[in-house]
Every structure is written in C-alpha cells, then in structure tokens.
Structure 1
Amino acid sequence: MCYLQSVPLYLSEMAPYKFRGALNIGFQLSITVGILIANVLNYFFAKIKGGWGWRLSLGGAIVPALIITVGSLVLPDTPNSMIERGERDEAKRKLKRVRGVDDVDEEFDDLVAASEASKLVEHPWRNLLKRKYRPHLTVAILIPFFQQLTGINVIMFYAPVLFNTIGFASDASLMSAVITGIVNVGATIVSIRYVDKVGRRFLFLEGGIQMLICQIAVAAFIGAKFGVDGNPGELPKWYAIVVVLFICIYVAGFAWSWGPLGWLVPSEIFPLEIRSAAQSINVSVNMFFTFVVAQIFLTMLCHFKFGLFLFFAFFVILMSIFIYFFMPETKGIPIEEMGQVWKTHWYWSRFVGPDDFVSAGNLEMGRGKGNTTLPVKDV
C-alpha cells in the first residue's frame, strides 16, 4: 500500500511536466514486467515433480520486496518535500540537478507558492469535502473504481483458471497467461511512447473502445461454444486461438490506457495541500475493488458464464462516457498549475472559483494590488 501510495506521487513531483506521463508510466511498466516474470516462473515451477513448486512461487516475492527496500534508501527527496520542511536552498539545488538547467526560478516559485497554500490547510481530510475539491475527489474515487471494473484482474489474476475453463490444457493455460503478460509489457511501452504526445483523454477513450469490442467478441465466441450449460465438448484449436487473440487485444487496450493512466492521472491532478490524502483515497478504492473482484470472480463465472464479459463491458461503457464528458486533458501542464484545467472545464468550473489553485505569478499580481493574503485560503 505504501508503495502504491508514494511512487506515483514521487514520480509526478520529480518529472519535468513535458515528460511526466512517460516517466510516471515507468511505474506501471515495472508492474507489468513483474507480472510477466511471475507468469513465466509459475509456468516452469508447475512442472516440478512433487507439487511443491508453489512454494517457490510464493517465496520468490521476497526478491522484489528487497529491491524496493534497498532502492528506497538511495532515492533523493523531492523538491516539494524539501520546501515543506523549510529546506528551500537545498530544494532549489535539487530542482536544478533534476531538471539539468540553472533557470528554475519560475517552477521553484510555483512550488513555494503551493507549499505556502498547503500550510494554511489544517485538516486535509476534511478539506477534501470542500466544494473546490469536488473534481479531485470525484476522480480519486471513480478512476480506480472503473480501472478495476474493466475486468483486467479477471484476465491477469485468473488467466490460467479462465483458459483452463474454456478448454485449454493445464500447461497451455499457463502459457496463455505468459502470452498475455508479454502483450501487457509491450503495450505499456507503447503508452510510454505516446502518452505525452496524444494526451491522456485519447488513450483513455481509445483503450475503452478497444476493450469494449474485445469483451463483446469474447462473450460471443464463448457463448456460442459453451451456451449456458458450460459444456463445450472438444474445443477446436483455431477457436481457442481466436479467443486468446481477442483477449490479448483487450489486454493491450488496457495496458496502454486504463492500466497506466489509472495511476498517472490521479497522481498529477491533486494540489499539494490535499495530495497525500487524495492519493490515499485513490489507492484505497483501487485495493478495495481489487479485493472485491478477486473474491467474487469465480462465483460470477459460475453464474454468469460468458455473460461475465458483458458485465465488465457495461462498466467500460460507463467509464468511457465519464472520461469523454468529465475528464479534462492534463497533458503538458505543470503539476502546480493543474488548477487551470478545472477552471476552464464546462462542468467542473462551477465548483472551482477564479481565486482557487493560483500559481506563483498570480500570487505576485495579488500582492501588487495590496492583497497580502493568499487567495487560496479557503479553510
């Protein structure tokens, strides 16, 4: 939980805004690589005679845990956290080093302004309920909710069970899980390549359409072969290949859209004064629905059969509608100036006032007019 809470925020704060998307998605790439390695190891461990290979699969989790622990000891603090602790000179030096240039005054002033504003907020959890944070709270809840209701965990967690159910042999089902893992990694690399060029909204919507088509296709193929009694008889090889192909296309759609963007977008939209609290909600909602889907999947598969894919397709439609109407584009906007996307949005602008989430430049303009208090003081 701490890893999921801190890493996306850390990357968003450290990355230059022009490359924030690509660098942040490196987090998701690491996850997909880990899933692939786990699938490959499970495939070979399952061949160990005696049935004790599962112990190696379970014990192997200590390796990435050690890497994370050791790596965290050498990571530098972000300039934001240094400013929060009053280490402004060191924060400016760190910012110059991270950006690779000496002219960081404008960005540094924005970070300082955000820090000053955050200090006026005494109760970040209570402030999340304020009207001006309504867009942030909505995104922090709905993005992770929809991410899990795409059905991706049904594929990635239970791929061997699912493929075995639709007629694959035991080894073939594990290999199919490896194939989807390879697709997952490759598609995440595609997202890194294009997220800062085509934008978040395009990938969200394209991925949603791609997943919807594939889910309907898989439901149709499985329904035609299984019917409602769940007894397919002999599954032709070409039929199984077609099902796996559509599942792989579905995984690719998720892996370059809702997979990485589900972590990227929430981590880059929260102002500093509520950033930690809002990200906690984002992670909690994600983990809760991961747990729920994992617990009810087998029961749903027994009762819904091929209709399970249509169940998740329904939520893909809902989440695509949400993105189209309510999610503004966040590409290429400095993280401390993200408030402008809500002020110009057709719906969220009614919740965000003109003096909310100001930048350092706006603060200087306010002070020049005799305004000695921060306009963001809404506590």
Structure 2
Amino acid sequence: MSGEKIDQMIRSSVMEDASSLEMDSADMDSAHGPSGYRGLFKCSNIFLYSLFASLGGFLFGYDQGVISGVLVMRDFETRFPRIGGNGDLQGWVVSIMQLGAFIGALINSPLADRLSRRYSIAVACVAFLIGSVLQAGALDNSMLFVGRFIGGIGLGQISMGVPLWIGEIAPPNLRGSAVTLQQFAIASGIMISFWLDYATQYIGGIGEGQSQLAWRLPFSLRVVPAATLLIGCFVYLPFSPRWLVKVGREHEALAVLSRLRKLPENHPVVQAEITQIKAGARFDALTIKEKFPNAKTPAQIAYQQYKELFTQRHLSKRLFVACFLQFLQQFTGVNAIIYYAPKMFKSIGLSGNSIPLLATGVVGIINVVATIPAIGIVDNFGRRGVLMVGAVFMSLSHFIIATLYAIYENSWAENLSAGWAAASFVWFFVFHFAYSVGCISWIYPTEIFPLGVRAQAMGIAISVNWISNFVIGLITPIMLTQIRFGTFYFFFAFTMILFLWVMFFLPETKGIPMEEMDKLWGGNEGKETAERMARIQNELQCESRNIPIYSKTSSYSDEVDIELQEQY
C-alpha cells in the first residue's frame, strides 16, 4: 500500500474520530443530568464536596466583614488607642491583610501544582489559623498586624485554590453552579460576621465596661471553620482527577473520577471524561513544546508565557481589559463599605453604639440575597447589559449619598430621615453591585484568553484585584476623615467610568465559544488550539484502537503497512 493511500485513509479516519468525539462529549453532558441548582441537588456528592470546600470562601468573606465591626467596638479602641483614633492606622489594619493575600495568591499556583490542589488548601488553612490565633490574642499593635498579614497569606491562597479545586472535580454541566457556591459562601461569611459583631458588642455592655470578649470572640470563632476545612483536606476531600493525570497517576485519577460520578470505571461517561482529561494534559505539554522549543526549565517556560501576554497585541489588549475590570470592581467602593460600613453609617448621621452595626448587618443580608440569582441574570441578558445597569444604579446611589452628606453634614441630628435615606442607598448600592460587577468581574477574564495562557492571565488579573483592594482599604478611612462626603463623589466617578467604558469599549462575550474569541480580539490562537487538539484526539483514538500514531515525515515500515491494511 502506498504512503499516499495511507495518508488519505488516516485523514478520513481522523475526521470521523473528531466527529465521534464531539458526539460523545454532547452525550456525556446529557448523561450527567441537569445543570444549575437542580443538578447540584441531584449530584449530591458534588454538591457536598463543593459546599464543604466553600468553607474557604466563608473564611474569605468572614475575615473581610469581621474587621469593620471590631474597629468601632469600645474595648478595642481602649486597648489599641493609636488605632482607634487614627484613620491612617485603621487603614493599615484592614489593608495589611490584602497585602498578605496578594502574596498568597502569587505563591499558590506552584504549591497547587507541586503538592496537589487539596493540600495547597490545607497549607492555606494552617496560615489562616496562625493569623487568627495571633489576632484573637493580640496584646499590642505589632501582634495584631503580624496576625492579619499571615492570615492574609492564607486567604490569598484560598481565593485561588478553592475555585480551582471545585472547577476540576465538577462535571461540565455543574461547573458554574458549583463554583457559585464559593461566591455564595463569601457573601454568607460577610453577613454572619456583621451580625456576630452586632451581637458580641453587648458582652459586658456597649460602654466603658465592655468586655474584651466583644472583639476577641469574633476573631476566635473563625478557627472553627478553618480547622474543619484543614481536617477535611486530609480525610474527606478527594484529589483532583486532573491533577492526578498531570502528575502521571492516571489509574488513581480514573478511580477518583468513578467515585465522583457514582459510576463504574468502565462506564462510557467516565471513560469519555477521563479521555478528555488526558487530552487536556497532553495539550498543555504539546503547547509548551511547540510554542517555546528553547525553554527547558519550568522557570524559562513561565517567563515565556508571561512575556507573551505583554508582547502580543491581541493578548495584551485582553490582559488590560481583565485587569481594568478587576480594578474598577474595587474602585466602585464595595469593599470600602464592607470594611468600614459602621464608620460610614456613623458618618451619615446614624447615632448610637449599636445602630451602625445593625445597619451594617443589613448590608450582609442584601449581599447574600442579591448573589443568588446572579448567574442566571448574566446568562440571560449578557455581560455588557448587566454591567451597565448595575453601574447606573451604583452611580445613582453614590451621588445621592454624597449629596445628602453635603447638605446635612452638620445637622444629621435634626434630620434623622436624611440619615436613614442615605443608609438605604448604601443598601441599594450593595444590591446592584452583587449581581453585576461583583459577579461578571470574575466570569469575564476566564472567557477571553486562549487556553495556553489563561492561568497566567488570571493570576495577573487577580493580583490586580488584591492590590486594588489593598489601596481601597488603606485610603478609605483617610478619605472619610479628610474629604468626608467627597468620598462618595470619588466612588461615583469610578462607577460612571465603569458605565462609559463598558458602553463604548467592552465587547459582549455571551454565547461565544472560547475558541472563537479571536474574532473579537484578533490573533489566531483559537485556530492553532483547534489544530493542536485535533492531533491529540487522533493520538488518543489511535492508542485506544492500538494503531501506531501516523506522521507524514515518518518512514513506513512493512509492519505498519500491514497493520493499516488489516485495519482498513
């Protein structure tokens, strides 16, 4: 048989195999069952695993929320007088955690690859526990600062590790819903910390006799979910099947996947999914080999991948969009409210020791409620529309709050209704943030990058989020003291920038496959990805049918010729 004849037959076979794989993929998605929350309850093991891992998100939200109430407690101000009366130091108490989280987010990727996804979460829990103990037992400023910095490192790792692990164990039809549990847990942690602060402030009274337990107890209680998650990493959570394939433990990956899907190892759905996982692992290896042939060490490969993001115009444009969206998410002022809500409510005239904390608790409830329908809204109405609607109402909220503050700044006591009106618009702002930029700022960057540089790009974008978060935490108490109502005009300006930028510059990505994003952004990464994946699929098909992998540049031995003739 001639080489040309063999070439034609194998090309025909590859086309048939590719079509077959697409069919198998569609059948597999259907076999997994419904999507959304209905699918989560049907696949109870995925729901429970994801819910348990989302304790990491709960820790994230709890730590963000608990500090706001602690800063205004009487006993805390008495024991830390330099912090209680100093906006600059209050900013550093809040922001030092974000600085640690920035470092934690950067170091988590190599840890997750080296130790496994679940053990990297365990390391994060240890750091968070150490930080929590130091904060709960703080006797001076330095002990408090060190505790928040170390705890922040753990939170940064958690913010990367938990969504990564959930995304890798969930089936395709539940991946979005399962990761949503992480976001819901963050909002729940914020809400519970707000109300816990409100309750514990009464320990010993809200005046001079307030007990130190009023603020030490909220700091201490977070060790319970952290310790629970740490233990669960060793005795409950499974390894990620994708990580197991990545490190060459394919038989173990098959067993774990079978247990996750509640199907036998030889079931067509399990076999199809493990084949996809193997294809993904080979794709990553082949991409690195073909794009960076001179890169021999992991450090050299990483350098080339990051360099590509800045030197290729279509990639640098996407990177700017992802980073700017993360920046604007923070500069809408949401975390200024989360961190300093009691201080803000005091500044707009809500007097008394408990009323600002009570109003802050409402912020937490609204944040949770508005998060529930977020994914459905985004999928139905698209990214741009939801962002613009959210930006309009957030802008309106900041403008009204700032104006009320400017008018009644010196007469809140005689105009209590104006203070409550301002508080209502703070709640209104939180509602519109939660379903819009609070959700889409995390979805959009995952969609627009080619697979080969997606992880690196996301790492940069998330680091921008943490640095922006750090800046907001640092400057907000200073602005509330120095420019007062101007603080809300400041955030109003950025919400308007968000609206205008989305309207004139941000493309709509709803319904566009990831491989076709080049039509929006330029470049040919999608075409190269498709061709590379087709070759890998051909390899896997040949392996499953015991056919030697064909190459036009290879020599045709008699044995290969005979085997191909027998096959065809």
TM-score of the pair, normalised by structure 1: 0.82
Give the whole-Å Cα distance in 2 for the aligned partners of 1:202 and 1:359.
34
Secondary structure (helix, strand or coil) at the match of 1:242 reads helix
Instruction: Specify the structure having the higher radius of gyration (Cα).
Output: 2
Change (3 A) 1:162 1:197: same
**Does residue 84 of structure 1 match 2:84?**
no
In structure 1, the partner of 2:362 is 179
**Does residue 210 of structure 1 match 2:210?**
no
Give the whole-Å Cα distance in 2 for the aligned partners of 1:361 and 1:90.
24
Identity of aligned residues (%): 28
Change (3 A) 1:183 1:196: same
In structure 1, the partner of 2:67 is none
Superposed, 1:2-41 pairs within 5 Å as: 2-41=157-196
**Does residue 279 of structure 1 match 2:447?**
no
Which whole-Å deviations, capped at 9, do the CAs of 1:207-258 have from their partners, x for residues lacking one? 22221221222222222222xxxx2342533322321221111101111122
Shift of 1:273: 4.1
1:257 maps to amino acid: S
**Does residue 54 of structure 1 match 2:226?**
no
Give the whole-Å Cα distance in 2 for the aligned partners of 1:314 and 1:370.
59
Which whole-Å deviations, capped at 9, do the CAs of 1:149-168 have from their partners, x for residues lacking one? 11001111101000011111
Which whole-Å deviations, capped at 9, do the CAs of 1:186-206 have from their partners, x for residues lacking one? 001121443444444443333
Contact 1:8–1:264 (CA<8 Å) still a contact in 2? no
Contact 2:515–2:527 (CA<8 Å) still a contact in 1? no
Give the whole-Å Cα distance in 2 for the aligned partners of 1:246 and 1:257.
17
Give the whole-Å Cα distance in 2 for the aligned partners of 1:56 and 1:193.
37
Secondary structure (helix, strand or coil) at the match of 2:372 reads helix
In structure 1, the partner of 2:284 is 115
Q: Which runs of 5+ in 1 are unaligned?
A: 373-379
Shift of 1:89: 4.8
Shift of 1:127: 1.6
Give the whole-Å Cα distance in 1 for the aligned partners of 2:470 and 2:243.
32
**Does residue 340 of structure 1 match 2:516?**
yes
In structure 2, the partner of 1:141 is 323
Change (3 A) 1:127 1:290: same
1:303 maps to amino acid: Q
Moved more, 278-287 or 118-127: 118-127
Shift of 1:296: 0.9
**Partner of residue 306 from structure 2, selected from 107, 125, 128:** 128
Superposed, 1:352-371 pairs within 5 Å as: 352-353=524-525, 355-358=527-530, 362-363=534-535
Give the whole-Å Cα distance in 2 for the aligned partners of 1:238 and 1:298.
25
Change (3 A) 1:99 1:138: farther
**Does residue 152 of structure 1 match 2:334?**
yes
Contact 1:82–1:91 (CA<8 Å) still a contact in 2? yes
Contact 1:4–1:283 (CA<8 Å) still a contact in 2? no
Which whole-Å deviations, capped at 9, do the CAs of 1:72-114 have from their partners, x for residues lacking one? 3332333332332233454456556656744437744652453
Give the whole-Å Cα distance in 2 for the aligned partners of 1:205 and 1:145.
16
In structure 1, the partner of 2:228 is 67
Change (3 A) 1:83 1:140: farther
**Does residue 310 of structure 1 match 2:489?**
yes
In structure 2, the partner of 1:104 is 273
In structure 2, the partner of 1:297 is 476
2:330 maps to amino acid: Q
Contact 2:450–2:525 (CA<8 Å) still a contact in 1? no
Give the whole-Å Cα distance in 1 for the aligned partners of 2:173 and 2:440.
16
**Does residue 194 of structure 1 match 2:377?**
yes
Give the whole-Å Cα distance in 2 for the aligned partners of 1:93 and 1:352.
37
Change (3 A) 1:107 1:15: same
Secondary structure (helix, strand or coil) at the match of 2:529 reads coil
Secondary structure (helix, strand or coil) at the match of 2:421 reads helix
Higher relative contact order (Cα pairs below 8 Å, separated by 6+ residues): 1
**Does residue 222 of structure 1 match 2:410?**
no
Give the whole-Å Cα distance in 2 for the aligned partners of 1:209 and 1:95.
45
Change (3 A) 1:201 1:119: same
1:159 maps to amino acid: A
Secondary structure (helix, strand or coil) at the match of 2:478 reads helix
Contact 2:412–2:418 (CA<8 Å) still a contact in 1? no
Contact 2:283–2:536 (CA<8 Å) still a contact in 1? no
Change (3 A) 1:108 1:323: farther
Change (3 A) 1:107 1:357: same
2:487 maps to amino acid: L
Contact 1:25–1:261 (CA<8 Å) still a contact in 2? no
2:302 maps to amino acid: P
Secondary structure (helix, strand or coil) at the match of 1:86 reads coil
Q: Which runs of 5+ in 2 are unaligned?
A: 1-155, 263-268, 296-300, 540-548, 554-568
Which whole-Å deviations, capped at 9, do the CAs of 1:117-137 have from their partners, x for residues lacking one? 454355224322311532553
Contact 2:348–2:422 (CA<8 Å) still a contact in 1? no
1:83 maps to amino acid: V
Change (3 A) 1:93 1:197: farther
Which structure carries more helix by proportion?
2
Secondary structure (helix, strand or coil) at the match of 1:357 reads helix
Secondary structure (helix, strand or coil) at the match of 1:167 reads coil
Give the whole-Å Cα distance in 1 for the aligned partners of 2:552 and 2:445.
32
**Does residue 232 of structure 1 match 2:411?**
yes
Give the whole-Å Cα distance in 1 for the aligned partners of 2:461 and 2:552.
35
